[in-house]
Amino acid sequence: MAQRFVTIWLYQLVTDWLTIRRPDLQHQPFVLTAPDRGRMVITAASTTAQAQGICAGMVLADARAIMPALQVFNDRPGLEEELLRALAKWCIRYTPFAAIDPPAGLILDASGCAHLWGGEGPYLEAIITRLQAFGYQVRAAMAGTIGAAWAVSRFGGRHCIINSGKEQEALLPLPPAALRLEPGIVERLQKLGLGRVSSFIAMPRSALRRRFGQELLLRLDQALGREEETIQPLEPVLPFQERLPCLEPILTATGIEIALKRLLEALCHRLRQEGKGLRSAVLKAFRVDGQVAQITIGTNSASHNVDHLFRLFGHKIATIEPALGIELFLLEAPKVEALSTQQETLWTGGCGLESARLSELMDRLANRLGPDCIHRYLPQEHYWPERSVRPAAALHEKHAAAWRSDVLRPVRLLPVPERITVAAPIPDYPPMLFRYRNQVHQVRRADGPERIEREWWLEAGPHRDYYVVEDEAGRRYWIFRSGHYDGSQPHWFLHGFFA
Amino acid sequence: MPATRKDIIRQLQKDILLWQGVTPPAAAAVPVGLGPVEEAFPHGVFPVAAVHELLSEAVEEAAATSGFVAGLLSPLMQRGGACIWISAARQLFPPALKAFGVEPERIIFIDLAREKDVLWAMEEALQCEGLAAVIGEVPEISFTASRRLQLAVEQSRVTGFVLRHQPRDLNANACTARWRIRPAPSQPEPGMPGLGFPRWQVELLKVRNGKPGSWLLEWSAGRFQPVVEKTDEQPQVQVKKTG
């Protein structure tokens, strides 16, 4: 397939943007300025101001001398690129490959896209009309190479379409600056009287290289399609992506659901054929007013089950605000993994940790309640109670160590041990009674002590002597004494409750 | 003939239950090993596809309730199903479950910030067929919420446990049974120091189509054991103390 590129030149980008935001500035002379070496230098001038001879690069004081009524606004560094990025994002409705081309330019890779608009003429027309309707002044061109399209959009006639193979003819009458050359090379060419591309294009390449360097030849080759040129798309194009343009703007949740279902069916069909499943998916809704609303889901294990994925999106659909309507839906799967066939065979069996149904349930919970809420614990080879378990990383993770069954552990463990006061007869005997939260418990039976040393290679501190005690009502507690009896009274803590 | 009379009464009870819409349990019912407590339920079988409600006031009672539920989980998880434990302020210590015959790594904990989400998550989990059990810690449950859980378990046949710690109002709800588990003094083996096996005073406050009652159970040798009458044991203890 022949490559086709569209370049768009928004030659009054910043001033147009300001006029859109403030319609009262239409037909008013105004400039944007930025400080430069202690002076205010004009970075952009409105069309009306330009008619008076004010242009970018002038010092503000000079411009004020020409036109005292000039309105001045501050320019923000990076504003132009920000605007370009937003416009390029908007252009994704015309092609998945949209790139920015500062200053004030956009490049779209339109290969294989134009037929959806009924040909290249209507395609280019649609882009230009929509941009102009926003209030931007644009010049655009379409050609088989980026270089030729760029040259024609800047220096050629209005809204040209250059057929593939005719680039050279289109370039001939244009000035050398149309080839995206460095100002120094353009100046040298002008000095030698080479004012048009036609005047040097037929010269021997060795002579051109010697006089003007490799760059001129490279740019010439790029414009003529002899040299490959790539663009950096604004958003990387994903292999698993489905788009659904709508004839009429969609406004209702039911409409969104139908669109989502269709996209999911198409995407899952492709995934199934390739034996893959998605781990995350994004639904983007391009609105008529240029905004993009999006909802995201994630799954615990790769899935291509339409119903399940639809349910995950289900309660997020309400968060899409259609405003004036949605004209394009885009479903992307940024994270795709190979799917084990085992998953489908377990579909109808019991619901162990490996079953697909459980992982679907986890997906639903994680999507609604946040992924941090799901925990599973595996044993860890530490004696210190707080460190004896660790959260498992995945549903399928197996434990390397075994659970200890030789020691009793409380059913409820306090996250932080609570201080208690005790009456203990002699060292290393369990207490006779203890006071916890203002209630005195008489100890009837006790077990222990179980000494647990603090692991010195991890942290310093006293050891703990744990006792299992039962009070007069049969309530069972896990209490410990921190440290030795060495003159000072040791502290006692309650750490858990036994069943 | 007393035997025939007993048979007739049993047959009549079965018929009444059938008319009330209680279907006899499937042949492959799981025995949970509750012994005499199971007799309190219709047909004398612990209802598996049902929501049980367990009340607790003090923290110690909550711990006893957790232990009792863990004891019920081990037979329920025999068939390889996973278990989901949902709570808003969890203090359960997973290694302790090993003592009740439950593999702690087969329990998935859902720790939520709001209690409101617990019921939603519980309903969603109860709809998942094949799970062994779903446990939710939530103090308040309305009639509507309990009905929703009940409808979910009727479809999926998963056992649900609602652990209600310090409930504010005990309204009527659609749960099949209402329990209260209290810790009871343990009895060590004769001549042995320390604590005995955990014992609980298990009260069945409400059972649909069943007979409420109160039992003293002990968890020993990996299963529930009924403890013989307390009154019988009291003198025994004294004998030991004096001897």
Whether residue B242 is predicted with pLDDT greater than 50 in this model: the reply is no
Same domain, A63 and A182: yes
B199-207 vs B177-184, strand pairing mode: antiparallel
Q: Bigger pLDDT: B204 or A103?
A: B204
* Overall average pLDDT of the B83-108 stretch: 90
Which amino acid is present at A469?
V
Average pLDDT, chain A: 85
Residue A38 DSSP label: T
- The verdict on a CB contact (< 8 Å) between A414 and B79 is no
Mutant choice from B30, B69, B93 vs A, greatest count of A C-beta within 10 A: B93
Helical residues (DSSP H) of A370-453, grouped into ranges: none
Contact A497 B130 (CB under 8 A): no
Domain range for A119: 1-237
CA distance B193 to B195: 7
Alpha carbon distances (Å) from A287 to A100, A151, A284:
21, 32, 9
- Residues A412-441: what's their mean pLDDT? 88
Q: Is the pLDDT of residue B241 over 50?
A: no
Kindly state whether B81 is in contact with chain A, defined as any CB-CB distance less than 8 angstroms: yes
- A368 inside domain: no
Assign a CATH topology to domain B43-242. Answer: Rossmann fold (3.40.50)
A131 lies in the same domain as A198 = yes
A395 and A422 fall within a common domain = no
Domain co-membership, A383 together with A267: no
Does the residue A369 lie in any domain? no
Preceding amide of A430 cis, omega within 30: no
Q: What is the pLDDT of residue A347?
A: 43
Torsion of CA B65, B66, B67, B69, to 10 degrees: 80
Q: Are residues A340 and A226 in the same domain?
A: no
Count the residues in chain A: 499
Residue of A378, A383, A411 for testing the chain B interface, max B β-carbons within 10 Å: A411
Q: What is the pLDDT of residues B158-197, one digit of tens each?
A: 899 999 999 988 888 889 999 999 999 988 888 888 888 9
Residue B235, preceding peptide bond in cis (omega within 30° of 0) = no
Within 8 A by CB and 6+ apart from B10, the residues are none
Which pLDDT score, from 0 to 100, does residue B26 have?
A: 60
| pLDDT greater at residue A426 or residue A221 | A221
Query: What pLDDT does B227 receive?
Result: 86
Q: According to the model, what pLDDT value does residue A103 have?
A: 81
CA–CA distance, A184 with A195 (Å, rounded to integer): 14
Place of tokens 């899935």: A303
Please write the tens of the pLDDT for every residue from A12-50: 888 888 888 888 888 888 888 888 888 888 888 888 888
Which are the contacts of A90, defined by CB distance < 8 A and separation ≥ 6?
Answer: A290
One domain for residues A114 and A15 = yes
Q: Which amino acid is at B34?
A: L
User: What is the three-class DSSP state of B218?
Assistant: strand
Report the pLDDT averaged over residues B22-34. 66
Of B93, B199, B219, the CB nearest to A412: B93
> According to the model, what pLDDT value does residue A348 have?
46
Kindly determine whether residue A445 and residue B195, on different chains, have CB atoms separated by under 8 Å: yes
Per-residue pLDDT tens digits for A123-178 = 888 888 988 888 888 888 888 888 888 888 888 777 688 888 788 888 888 888 88
d(CA B72, CA B31): 10
- Residue A256 forms part of a structural domain: yes
Q: What is the ipTM score, two decimals?
A: 0.85
CA–CA gap between residue A361 and residue B152 (Å, rounded):
14
Give the end of a domain, one of A237, A254, A276: A237
Task: Please say if the pLDDT value at position B15 is more than 60.
Answer: yes
CB contact under 8 A, B62 and A497: yes
Contact B95 A409 (CB under 8 A): yes
Does residue A492 lie in a domain region? yes
Burial B124-136 (b: 16+ CB within 10 A, else e): bbbbbebbbbbbb
Q: pLDDT of A64-77, one tens digit each?
A: 888 888 888 888 88
A183-196: pLDDT as tens digits:
888 888 888 888 88
- Nearest neighbour of B121 by CB, restricted to A365, A444, A496: A365
Q: Taking 90 as the threshold, does the pLDDT of residue B54 lie above it? A: yes
In the predicted structure, residue A397 carries a pLDDT above the cut 80: no
User: What distance in Å separates residue B127's CA from the closest CA in chain A?
Assistant: 9
In this prediction, residue A110 carries a pLDDT of 84
C-beta atoms of B93 and A408 within 8 A = no
* Beta bridge partners of residue A224, listed in sequence order: none
Please calculate the CA angle A8-A11-A15 and round it to the nearest 5 degrees. Answer: 125
pLDDT of residue A273: 86
Contact: B195, A405; criterion CB under 8 Å: no
In this structure, which long-range contacts are made by residues B220-224, counting pairs with CB atoms below 8 Å and at least 24 apart in sequence?
Answer: B222/B74, B222/B101, B223/B33, B223/B71, B224/B33, B224/B34, B224/B35, B224/B37, B224/B71
**Residue B63 and residue A357: Cβ atoms within 8 Å?**
no
Beta strands in chain B (DSSP E): 51-56, 83-87, 107-111, 133-137, 159-165, 177-184, 199-207, 213-220, 223-226
> Measured between beta carbons, which residues in chain B are less than 8 angstroms from residue A447?
193-195
Subunit contact A392:B105, Cβ cutoff 8 A = yes
> What mean pLDDT do residues A316-323 have?
86
Structural domain tally of chain A? 4
Give residue for tokens 């302020």. Answer: B89
Are A252 and A386 in the same domain?
Answer: no
**Residue A20: which H helix or E strand, with range?**
helix A13-21
Task: Please determine, for residue A257, whether its predicted confidence score (pLDDT) is greater than 70.
Answer: yes
Other C-beta atoms closer than 10 Å to the C-beta of B229 total: 9
Which among A18-22, A361-365, B198-202 has the top mean pLDDT?
B198-202
Indicate the SS3 state at residue B108. strand
What pLDDT shows up at residue A1?
62
Question: Using a CB-CB distance cutoff of 8 angstroms, which residues of chain A are in contact with residue B113?
Answer: 373
* B95 with A373: Cβ contact below 8 A: no
Q: Are B200 and B68 in contact (CB under 8 A)?
A: yes
Domain ranges of chain B: 43-242
Domain termination site, one of A237, A252, A278: A237
The reply to whether A225 and A76 lie within a common domain is: yes
Q: How far apart are CA A490 and CA B92, in angstroms?
A: 28
If you write DSSP's letter for every residue of A256-278 in order, what string do you get? Answer: HHHHHHHHHHHHHHHHHHTTEEE
Same-domain check for residues A329 and A250 = yes
pTM (2 decimals)?
0.67
Chain B closest CA to A432's CA: distance in Å? 14
A/B interface, count of CB pairs below 8 Å: 175
| In-domain check, residue A343 | yes
In A297-352, which ranges are continuous DSSP H helix? 306-314, 342-345
B56 Cβ under 8 Å from any chain A Cβ: no
Which of A237, A269, A290 is where one domain is finished? A237
Distance from CA of A300 to the nearest CA of B (A): 14
Specify whether A71 is located in the same domain as A212.
yes
Query: What pLDDT was estimated at residue A419?
Result: 92
Ranked by mean pLDDT, the top range of A18-27, A388-397, B133-142 is: B133-142
Q: pLDDT: is B171 or A410 the higher one?
A: A410
In this prediction, residues A349-354 reach a mean pLDDT of 64
Of A375, A395, A403, which is closest to B109 when you measure between CB atoms?
A375
Which residues of chain A are within 8 Å of residue B219 when distances are taken between CB atoms? Answer: 499
**Touching A: B residues 133-152, CB under 8 Å:** none
Residue-level pLDDT at A261: 92
Q: What percent of chain A has pLDDT over 70?
A: 97
B199 contacts in chain A (CB < 8 Å): 474
Task: Quickly state the pLDDT bin for A477 (edges 50, 70, 90).
Answer: very high
CB B209 within 8 A of CB B20: yes
| B31 Rama sector, left if φ>0, alpha if ψ -120 to 50, beta otherwise | beta
CB-side exposure of A149: number of CA atoms within 13 Å?
Answer: 27
What angle (nearest 5°) sits at the alpha carbon of residue A200, between those of residues A199 and A205?
160
B17–chain A nearest CA distance, Å: 30
User: Are A166 and A299 part of one and the same domain?
Assistant: no
Interface-testing mutation among B195, B219, B233, with chain A (most A C-beta atoms within 10 A) = B195
Please report the pLDDT score of residue B81 as a whole number.
81
Phi, psi of B158, rounded to the nearest 5 degrees:
-100, 145
B59 close to A (CB below 8 A)? yes
Q: Is the pLDDT of residue B203 over 80?
A: yes
Backbone angles phi, psi at B5, to 5 degrees: -60, -45
Shared domain for A175 and A312, answered yes or no, is no
Give the CATH number, domain containing residue A173: 3.30.70.270
Which 3-state string (H, E, C) describes A97-142? EEEEECCCEEEEECCCCHHHHCCHHHHHHHHHHHHHHHCCCCEEEE
Query: How near does any CA of chain A get to the CA of B171, in Å?
Result: 27
Residue A155 lies in a domain: yes
